[in-house]
């Protein structure tokens, strides 16, 4: 009866069952290989050959993981944004601790989405409610219009870039955690509205390294900036240091509005009397390849160990056979 309870527990718990399935498969596959070798080589030599083959195969597998870490399985920490400061754009708060923030233009100096739509009326169909959109939203689909608006307003971003909304999701999610969970500046994400997202630093992209593309967006067999692209490959290969990569998510408190029953939630409206909050973050490149590289180092070291043991065993056997032949002659 006791055994039935054990088997019932194994059948119910998928974790234990999975471990037993893996161990059984390992014992069957590796054990059958060892038994086949043992019938031809003997128990000790077969064990050395089996372990050498196993860790040789694991070296190839883990080297593949090291080159291209798997989506699931042995991989390290993924790159992420780490908040370092929540700065309130208010004269009473003083300067920001992160000096690079001083080069970012103030929100009131930047053109609004309404200004961009007034200069480009054809964008009104894409942004029917400009008060709910941000520069990051417009940057996703109309970067040229945003650049023209900045130029007309005489605004220099001083090296900062407007992050498109399509690429700002990770930074905005990290900002929500910093504002609500970590620092508890706000009680909920509905207490503020996200404005624009900006980035500066990090390695240059190919578009930044080769801004003069003679193909004008056309797909030619040989690109017009092929020499610059080759230079960019060497730049990425031999640039071992990673410049600090900053991101800033701007948010502003909203005016409290009461949702009416049976109607859609009200459109959030920023409170112009409240300051703008800057969530300053630094890019952590993560350790995606560290775990596969560790597995490779261990597997390759054990492979070398068993190969060396087999090598010295062969040398010892050859020497002993030579000595035995010499004794037979005597």
pLDDT score, position 131: 83
Token output for 128: 């029917």
| Alpha carbon distances (Å) from 311 to 47, 49, 149, 305, 323 | 14, 11, 72, 10, 19
DSSP string over 188-224? SGGGEEEEEEEEEESSPPHHHH----TTTT---SS-T
**8 A C-beta contact, residue 247 and residue 171:** yes
pLDDT 10s digits, 188-232: 988 999 999 999 998 888 888 888 765 555 566 767 778 888 888
**8 A C-beta contact, residue 89 and residue 299:** no
**8 A C-beta contact, residue 92 and residue 301:** no
pLDDT 10s digits, 136-151: 999 998 999 999 999 9
Element at 21 (helix H, strand E):
helix 14-41
pLDDT score, position 30: 83
Residue with tokens 């064990």: 47
Q: How far apart are CA 86 and CA 281, in angstroms?
A: 9
Which residues, given as ranges, of the chain have pLDDT below 70?
1-14, 213-220, 222, 330
């Amino acid at each position: 009866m006791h055994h039935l309870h054990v088997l019932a527990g194994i059948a119910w718990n998928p974790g234990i069952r999975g471990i037993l399935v893996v161990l059984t498969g390992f014992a069957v596959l590796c054990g059958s290989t060892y038994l086949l070798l043992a019938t031809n080589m003997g128990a000790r030599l077969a064990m050395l050959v089996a372990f050498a083959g196993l860790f040789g195969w694991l070296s190839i597998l883990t080297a593949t993981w090291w080159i291209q870490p798997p989506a699931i399985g042995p991989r390290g920490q993924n790159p992420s944004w780490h908040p370092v400061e929540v700065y309130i754009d208010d004269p009473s708060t003083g300067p920001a601790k992160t000096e690079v923030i001083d080069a970012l233009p103030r929100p009131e100096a930047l053109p609004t989405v309404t200004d961009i739509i007034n200069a480009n009326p054809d964008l009104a169909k894409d942004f029917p409610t400009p008060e709910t959109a941000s520069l990051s939203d417009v940057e996703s689909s109309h970067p040229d219009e945003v650049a023209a608006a900045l130029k007309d307003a005489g605004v220099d971003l001083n090296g900062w870039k407007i992050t498109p909304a399509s690429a700002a999701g990770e930074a905005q999610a990290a900002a929500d955690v910093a504002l609500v969970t970590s620092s508890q500046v706000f009680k909920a994400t509905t207490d503020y509205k996200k404005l624009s997202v900006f980035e500066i630093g990090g390695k240059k992209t190919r578009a930044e390294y080769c801004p003069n593309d003679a193909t004008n967006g056309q797909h030619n067999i040989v690109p017009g900036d092929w020499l610059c692209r080759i230079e960019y490959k060497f730049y990425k290969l031999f640039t071992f240091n990673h410049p600090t990569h900053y991101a800033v998510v701007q948010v502003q408190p909203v005016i409290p509005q009461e949702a009416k029953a049976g109607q859609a939630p009200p459109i959030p409206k920023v409170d112009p009397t409240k300051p703008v909050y800057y969530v300053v973050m630094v890019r952590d490149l993560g350790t995606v390849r560290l775990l596969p590289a560790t597995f490779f180092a261990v597997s390759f070291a054990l492979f070398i160990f068993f190969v060396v043991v087999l090598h010295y065993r062969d040398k010892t056997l050859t020497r002993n056979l030579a000595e035995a032949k010499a004794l037979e002659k005597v």
